[in-house]
Each structure stands twice: as structure tokens, then as C-alpha cells.
Amino acid sequence: MSKYFNPYTDFGFKKLFGTELNKDLLISFLNALFEKNPEIPHDEITDITYLNSEQLGRTAADRKAIFDVYCTTKSGNRFIVEMQNVFQQFFKDRSVYYSSFPIRDMAKKDKEGERWNYELQAVYTVGILNFVFKDNEKKDEKGEVLNEFSDDDLLHIVMLTDRITGKVFYNKLVYFYLEMPKFKKTREELVTMYDKWLFVLKNLSKLMERPKELQEAVFRRVFEIAEISMMSAVEHLEYEESLNALWDITNAMEDSEKKGFFKGKEEGEKIGIEKGREEGRAEGRADAMRDIARVMKKHGDDIDYIVMVTGLSKEEINSL
């Protein structure tokens, strides 16, 4: 019986960061992210304007992009802010693809309409991830994944970089990825606004009151907004549906990966080679994608979006 909603749900995330009424919360979070990383070029964010979260390709054949949150600042910089609960096969590809939409829209013709002005404002993608990238997992000597994390390396910042000199080649396209399972700080260890925001995102639904370490006005607003008992009947229904969707897709992934892991381990031990284990894991991942596709279809997600998330073909998805 949670007192506050889960910000990892679609409802909770949009309520906190995706509404005009609560845009001060998103501004605070983004500024805290930049304060943590002052080396990233940026202007202090004082106001934002929400943009259409559904972006269409230039032709009917092009795929569309649906952002969780998409906004621009006074200086024209664009922000895509996404919550991602389970690992997707092509998540990095999707991040790059999504960032191409604001880049495309910023290229304008000059007054004579004869040539393009290619001067761009910055595009920032912020991914709040409820998983750890596969290539960042720690493994033991047998290759098994260890459930050991450190919040020292939970943030990854990606920019175009010259591999020879090590210098940043282009600093107007920046990807922030926050691997939230690695955040382990307790309330007594919270000092910066960055740490406080991560603590709230990680623990809000588990708390029964606002901790004394979160006395800033912005967090008082967070806890007022997130209190389930203060929701309207319609909001309560929307939240329940969003929470069920989160549980469904999380359980589908966990169950499928668990079945795939044990199947692979069994086969590997039976024939005495690692090949069986790896094949079993591969089949487990494929099962996971099919289970996730089933859940997404159940909740009415667009087929093209399911294709992008799972890597399955339209034919296979339609047959599920």
C-alpha cells in the first residue's frame, strides 16, 4: 500500500516531468544534472516550452518517434527525457534515431529560401534507465552476472569524440544515461540536488513521508503531487492501469530471461561446453522480446513502436 505513486510508471513520470503545471520540477532536475557535470556546455535553464511529443517522419513510410517528454529552452536547446524500465535490444539505436528529429527540425532555410542554415542548437537526450546496459554488467569468473553495483559509475555521458586525440569533436549532441539500479545512497548521504533527485526517483513509491533531507520547496511539491490519496477518480484509474502495465512488462522480461538462463545453463552442463549455455541465453532473450511484444499489444502500443523496441518483425508481432 504505497502512499506515493511510482515515478517509473508512464503516469507517474508524465505527471512529474511532462506537464506545464509542474515544469519547475523538470527544470530543477535538468539543472541538477548539469550542476553535477559542469564540463558539459549549457545555459542555466530558467524556463521550458513543451513540444509535441509525437514526431512524424517526412514521408508516410518513415517511422515516427513518440517521446516521453520533449521540450525546448529559451536559448533553443532541445531536451528529450525518457524513462526506460526494461532493456531493449536496440535501445541505443532508438536514442540516436529519436535525437535525429529535433536535429532535422532545426535546419531552416534563409530569408531568400535558397540555402539551408545549418547552425544548430544543442540536443540533449536524458535516459533514466531502470536497468544496467549489458556491456556494463559485472560478471564472475564463470560469466554469471553479479548483482553488484556502484553509484559512482551510474551516469554515462556520450558525445562525438575524436578517438585519436581524445578531444570532443562535437558538443551539441549529448546523451545522458542514468543506470538507476546502481544508485545506492541512503538519505543520510544526500548532499547535492543531483543525489536528491536520484533518491526520489528510485525510492518515492517506497516512502511513507518526505525525509527531512528533502526540505527544498521543489521536493515538497513532488510529494504533494505524488500522493495517491489526493488523486481524482480518473487519475487513480489511469495510475492503476499504468502500474499494471509496468508490472506486466517487467515480469515478462524477468520470467523469460530466467527461463532462458536456466535452459542455457542446463544444456551447457549436459554437453560440457559453453555453446549450449549461450544458445539458451539467446533463446531466452528472444522469448523475452516476444513476451514484451505480447504485453505491449495488450496495452495498445503502436506496431511500429513494438518493432523498434523488440526487434521482431511485424509479421511475428501480428501472429502473437
Residue 191 pLDDT > 90, yes or no? yes
> Maximum distance among all alpha carbons in the chain?
73
Contact 300, 310 (CB under 8 A): no
Residue 169, classed as helix, strand or coil, is: strand
Judged by average pLDDT, the poorest of 19-28, 90-99, 185-194, 214-223 is 90-99
Q: What is the DSSP string of 128-158?
A: EESS--GGG--B-TTSPBP----GGG-EEEE
Share of the chain above pLDDT 70, in %: 82
Contact 131, 179 (CB under 8 A): yes
Residue 282 pLDDT > 70, yes or no? no
pTM of the entire structure?
0.77
Q: Please state the domain extents for the chain.
A: 1-230, 231-320
Task: Report pLDDT digits (tens) over 194-216.
Answer: 999 999 999 999 999 999 999 99
Give the number of residues written for the chain. 320
Cα(307)–Cα(90) distance, rounded to whole angstroms? 10
Task: Report pLDDT digits (tens) over 133-146.
Answer: 888 777 777 777 77
Residue 97 pLDDT > 80, yes or no? yes
Cα(138)–Cα(209) distance, rounded to whole angstroms? 34
CA nearest 216: which of 29, 46, 43, 50?
29
Positive or negative, the CA dihedral 33, 35, 41, 43 is positive
User: Residue 308: its pLDDT value, please?
Assistant: 72
